[in-house]
Amino acid sequence: MPVTYEEFADSRLGALLRYAVMLTGDLHTAQDLVQDTMVRVQLNWRRVAGSDSPDGYVRKMLTNQFIDLRRGSWLRRVLLRAEPDPVRAVPSDHADETAERDRVWGMLAKLPRQQRAALVLRYYEDLPDGDIAEVLGCAVGTVRSSISRALATLRADLVEAR
Amino acid sequence: MSDIEEELRATFMRHERLAPEVAPVRARIDLAWVRAKRRRLARRIAGVAAVVLMTGAAAPVVLDQWRPGASAPVPLAGELVPAPAPTPAGPIDVLLLGSDNRLRWEDPANRHADTVMMIHVPADRSRTYLISLPRDGEVKLPGGQQAKLTETLYHGGPDLTEKIVSELTGVDFDARVTVDLRALRAVTAAVGGVDMCLPEPIKSLHTGKKFPKGCLHVGADDVSPLLQARYNLRHGSYDRDRTAQRFLRSLAGKLTGNGTLADPARLQALVRAAKDGIDIDGDVGALFTGAASLGSAEVVGVSEPSFNSTAAGRERIYPKVGPALYAAIRGDALEDWVVGNPRFVMK
């Protein structure tokens, strides 16, 4: 029995929204990204449902939309919005430790999109490097070097911040 | 694992709570989808009108009207009026349901289709393919019960027919068109008749009229007896499907040959002359400007050369070539398929 779009949305939308939040760092941008992706998912549902893993296919669509500036109209829409969203400060505890960690969250925004996506795929989605390469459409070696470069940037920033 | 990696994991986990509620996002997606679908319809409808006219079936375009108790048809007219009809990109697939009589559509107990045809126009617009599906071919209803393709209309209207053909072939149709013979009679009269050739003589049981083998001029009065005839033909409704394909090819040739397709004004005049059989959902003027893009495309008919029956004597739809044929339609590669399967191509 092939999965229907409705079943897919019911079971996967929550996880996609969380994934989009990790990519974009912002609730509203994540919402727009997921919305645009899901409309395209419906337009191409037969192809999505017929793929080996509809889940993976949609994650790939969403990631590409996030990375690819030229094709993604969602970004243009977000950027040209009349009232730009204020940068969302995550409600933080008083503990210094938490503040320190939220600094990592802030630093993620400075990374190139492909590097951030690679980090999210490895450290949030827990994908093996081979799968990450498949999502990003690049070689495994490129995934590893993006991640190590991203980690180096974060480390350097943290040292500087301290 | 390094500190930074652990911190990353913890950071991601902690920010999960930033994720928005699912239900409102779902509602926004559904809304955006409705808008996207309308835009797609508006974009494709021009191509659909062109295809319909290409095949000579200047005919009622039925989009979503048939779903019992369903929402009102998408309001296309308002969206189409201001813009010149764009030329649609990509291949176009249309499901054509033909019947001899308008009443067939209006009286649910009497619903059936004499002709079920898939129309495929490739992205390069070089040809128009007409792929006939045997009306008595066996299909499965949603309940698992067996039925003839033509009977799906009785069980669930054109919606069900389209759904079943889509499931069978994997083809997603951009539109569904219903035609009846009145429309074809009117168009034939308006163009002053068409010339076509028959490989075998045809005798109409309805009127007793005989059409000899060879080439002949078909006037408006000949349309019904010619296209309805099947009982005296060697392959019954299979031969009738091919007669319909030949007729549509000749009519398309006439329309492109005399420049009607390239001239929106003449096209509209033609449609006005035939208005009894025509019921198009959308702005006709804007639609027809798209027809010119097809130019003088060639019409290629595809059908089963002979019956394929099961042990129980029921007909099967493309039992052998089906998967490859449907894949060629979906992949917009019919040109290669036709070259490899000449037996299935109308001569």
* Judgement on whether residues A45 and A99 belong to the same structural domain of the protein: no
* Residue B119 pLDDT: 84
Per-residue CA distances from A13 to A5, B197, B222 (Å): 11, 58, 58
Residue position matching structure tokens 């009738």: B240
- According to the model, what pLDDT value does residue B72 have? 31
Structure tokens at B141: 């209803």
Question: pLDDT class for A123, splitting at 50, 70, 90?
Answer: very high
Q: Give the integer Cα–Cα distance in Å for A79 and B19.
A: 20
pLDDT for the residue numbered A61: 92
**CATH code, A132:** 1.10.10.10
Which comes out higher in pLDDT, residue A40 or B61?
Answer: A40
Q: How many CB pairs under 8 A join A and B?
A: 83
Closest CB to A105: pick one of B11, B22, B29: B11
What tokens appear for A1 in the block?
């029995």
Last residue of a domain, one of A88, A115, A132: A88
Contact A13 B25 (CB under 8 A): yes
Task: Provide the token pair at B265.
Answer: 């004004």
Greater pLDDT, B159 or A36: A36
The answer to whether residues A77 and A103 belong to one domain is: no
Q: Which of A37, A63, A88 is the last residue of a domain?
A: A88
- The answer to whether the beta carbons of residues B165 and B329 sit under 8 Å apart is no
Averaged pLDDT for residues A4-28: 92
Q: Are residues A106 and A160 in the same domain?
A: yes
Chain B: closest CA distance from residue A122 (Å): 9
Q: How far apart are CA B10 and CA B126, in angstroms?
A: 58
Residue of A nearest to B38 (CA): A43
Nearest to B8 among A13, A20, A123 (CB): A123
Would you call B232 exposed, middle or buried from its count of C-beta atoms within 10 A (0-12, 13-18, 19+)? middle
Do residue B12 and residue A101 have CB atoms under 8 angstroms apart? Answer: no
If one counts the domains in chain A, the total is: 2
Q: Taking the C-alpha atoms of B232, B233, B237 and B239 in order, what is their torsion angle to the nearest 10 degrees?
A: -160
Candidates A14, A27, A108; nearest CB to B22: A14
Q: Chain A partners of B326 at a C-beta cutoff of 8 Å?
A: none
- Res A27 pLDDT > 80: yes
Q: Which mean pLDDT values do the consecutive 10-residue runs of chain B (347 residues) have?
A: 86 92 90 75 47 42 30 31 43 76 57 80 79 89 87 82 91 74 76 87 83 90 83 78 83 71 64 51 39 58 77 80 94 91 86
Chain B residues lying within 8 Å of A42, measured CB to CB: 33, 36
DSSP H or E run through B108: none
Do A113 and A52 lie in one domain? The reply is no
What per-residue confidence (pLDDT) applies to B273? 56
Residues of B in contact with A155 (CB under 8 A): 4
Give the pairing of strands B214-218 and B298-302.
unpaired
Per-residue buried b or exposed e for A117-139, using 16+ beta carbons within 10 Å of the residue's own CB: bbbbbbbbbebebebbbbbbeee
Alpha-carbon distance of B109 to A5, in angstroms, equals 33
Instruction: Calculate the average pLDDT of chain A.
Output: 82
CATH numbers and ranges of domains, chain B: 45-344 (3.40.630.190)
Statement to judge: residues A20 and A39 lie in one domain? yes
Closest residue to A39, CB basis, from B15, B26, B32: B32
Q: Closest chain A residue to B24 measured between Cα atoms?
A: A31
Asked whether residue A100 falls in the same domain as residue A149, the answer is yes
How much of chain A exceeds pLDDT 70, in percent? 78
Number of neighbouring beta carbons within 10 Å of residue B243? 23
Contact yes or no for B300/B345 (Cβ under 8 A) = yes
What's the pLDDT score for residue A129? 95
Of B7, B20, B28, the CB nearest to A30: B20
pLDDT for the residue numbered B347: 73
Nearest CA-CA distance, residue B140 and chain A, Å = 15
- Domain with A77 in it: what CATH number? 1.10.1740
Tell me, yes or no, whether A74 and A112 share the same domain.
no
CA A134 to chain B, closest CA, distance in angstroms equals 22
Q: How far does the CA of residue B262 sit from the closest CA of chain A (Å)?
A: 31
- Give the DSSP per-residue string, A102-134: HHHHHHHTTS-HHHHHHHHHHHTS---HHHHHH
CA atoms within 13 A on the CB side of B167: 13
Residues A151, A123 within the same domain: yes
For tokens 């395209």, name the residue.
Answer: A40
B245 to A39, B48, B125, B154, B200: CA distances (angstroms): 37, 18, 18, 25, 15
* β-strand pairing of B175-180 with B92-99: parallel
Residues A99 and A148 both lie in one domain = yes
Q: Are A77 and A108 in a shared domain?
A: no
Same structural domain for residues A41 and A106? Answer: no
Least confident piece of the model among A16-30, A93-107, B191-205: A93-107
User: Which residues does chain A have within 8 Å of residue B40's beta carbon, measured at their own beta carbons?
Assistant: 43
Q: What is the torsion angle, in degrees rounded to the nearest 10, for the CA atoms of residue A77, residue A78, residue A84 and residue A88? A: 170
> Touching check for A9 and chain B: CB below 8 Å?
yes
Residue A104 touches partner B, C-beta closer than 8 Å: yes
Domain hosting A157: range is 92-162
Which residues touch A144 (CB under 8 Å, ≥6 apart)?
Answer: A129
The verdict on A84 and A21 lying in the same domain is: yes
Q: Structure tokens of B310?
A: 């099961």
- Alpha-carbon distance values, A157 to A10, A144, A150, B3 (Å): 40, 20, 11, 14
Q: Single out the residue of B333, B342, B329 nearest to residue B133, CA to CA.
A: B329
**Amino acid B9: pLDDT:** 94
Query: In this structure, what token pair is assigned to residue A153?
Result: 């940037």
Query: Which value does ipTM take for this structure?
Result: 0.83
Question: Which three-class secondary structure state does DSSP give residue B203?
Answer: strand
At residue B70, the pLDDT reads 31
Residue to substitute from B22, B44, B165, B329, interface A, most A β-carbons within 10 A: B22
pLDDT at B261: 61
Cβ contact A39–B172 (<8 Å): no
Instruction: Give the separation between CA A44 and CA A42, rounded to whole angstroms.
Output: 5
Domain stops at, among A71, A88, A105? A88
CB distance from A13 to chain B under 8 Å? Answer: yes
The mean pLDDT value for A89-105 works out to 59
Q: How far is B308 from chain A (nearest CA, A)?
A: 28
| Crossing angle of helices B3-14 and A140-161, rounded to 10° | 90
Answer left, alpha or beta for residue B281, where phi above 0 means left and psi between -120 and 50 means alpha: beta
In chain A, which residues have their Cβ closer than 8 Å to the Cβ of B15? 21-22, 25, 90, 105
> Distance between CA atoms of B325 and B341, rounded to whole angstroms?
9
Which of A124, A149, A160 would best serve as a mutation to test chain B binding (most B beta carbons within 10 A)? Answer: A124
| pLDDT for position B124 | 76
